[in-house]
Each structure stands twice: as structure tokens, then as C-alpha cells.
């Protein structure tokens, strides 16, 4: 008897692209696991923070955490970034205007795809 090899297709969450006025494009994942949602909510609320951590620090970390979980790709000046470590590094190096745009995109994306998630 011949054995059939079943190949499971890997499910991929849909993604959404957001472009700024300069043509840079941020691609965000269309799924967020329940565990990631809980981790984000806890971080945003400042749960388990050290005494030296301020609410502002917790908020900044929550933005980074949400970005880390959702960002798939960021094309800046025609150069794509698609590795998680590099994406997070680029966010940390972003100007105030870029960070404000990323937060705006995260809010818009969450409102559309994850209305139960309180975006930063």
C-alpha cells in the first residue's frame, strides 16, 4: 500500500499595510494570541513592575510589546526590515514623529482587528 503524505498547510494570519506620508510602509499581523493579549494588558497596567519602574516606563514597554507581537515588516526609505530584533531596534531608534505615527497605526490596527485590546 502506498502511503500518502499529508502536508499541512501552515495557516497565516492576514496582514495589513500602513503607509506614512513619506512612503514608508509598516506591515502588521492580523492575529494576536490570548497569551499575548494578557501579557500586553498586564504590561500596560504595570502589573509585576519593579518599584523603580514608573507608569511611563510601563506604557513605553507596552507599546514595544504590542509592536513586537504585531510588526511583520517595516519598509523605510525603500529598505525593508523584517527580522524581529531589527524591527524592535528600529522602533527604539525612531524619531518622536515616527514613534507617534507607529502608535497611531497601532491604535488604528487594534480598533479594526482587536477591539478588546486597549491600544496605547
pLDDT at 120 > cutoff 90: no
Q: What is the CB neighbour count within 10 angstroms for residue 60?
A: 15
Lowest mean pLDDT among 4-13, 14-23, 46-55, 102-111: 4-13
Q: For the chain, which residues make up each domain, given as ranges?
A: 18-113
pLDDT at 52 > cutoff 70: no
Average pLDDT of the residues in 84-106 = 95
Query: How far apart (Å, rounded) are the C-alpha atoms in residues 84 and 93?
Result: 14
What is the pTM (predicted TM-score) of this model? 0.83
Report residue 23 as a C-alpha cell: 512612503
pLDDT of res. 75:
97
Query: How far apart (Å, rounded) are the C-alpha atoms in residues 37 and 35?
Result: 5
Range list of H helices, 8-119: 34-45, 55-70, 84-93, 96-113
pLDDT at 10 > cutoff 70: no
Torsion 50-53-57-58 (CA) sign: positive
pLDDT of res. 59:
86
Range list of H helices, 5-54: 34-45
pLDDT tier for residue 47 given thresholds of 50, 70 and 90:
confident
Amino acid at each position: 500500500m502506498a502511503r500518502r503524505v499529508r502536508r499541512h498547510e501552515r495557516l497565516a494570519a492576514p496582514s495589513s499595510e500602513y503607509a506614512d506620508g513619506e512612503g514608508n510602509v509598516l506591515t502588521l499581523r492580523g492575529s494576536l494570541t490570548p497569551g499575548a493579549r494578557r501579557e500586553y494588558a498586564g504590561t500596560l497596567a504595570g502589573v509585576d513592575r519593579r518599584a523603580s519602574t514608573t507608569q511611563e516606563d510601563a506604557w513605553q514597554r507596552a507599546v514595544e510589546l504590542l509592536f513586537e507581537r504585531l510588526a511583520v515588516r517595516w519598509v523605510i526609505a525603500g529598505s525593508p526590515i523584517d527580522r524581529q530584533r531589527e524591527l524592535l531596534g528600529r522602533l527604539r531608534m525612531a524619531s518622536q514623529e515616527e514613534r507617534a505615527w507607529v502608535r497611531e497605526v497601532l491604535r488604528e490596527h487594534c480598533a479594526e482587528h482587536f477591539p478588546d485590546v486597549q491600544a496605547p
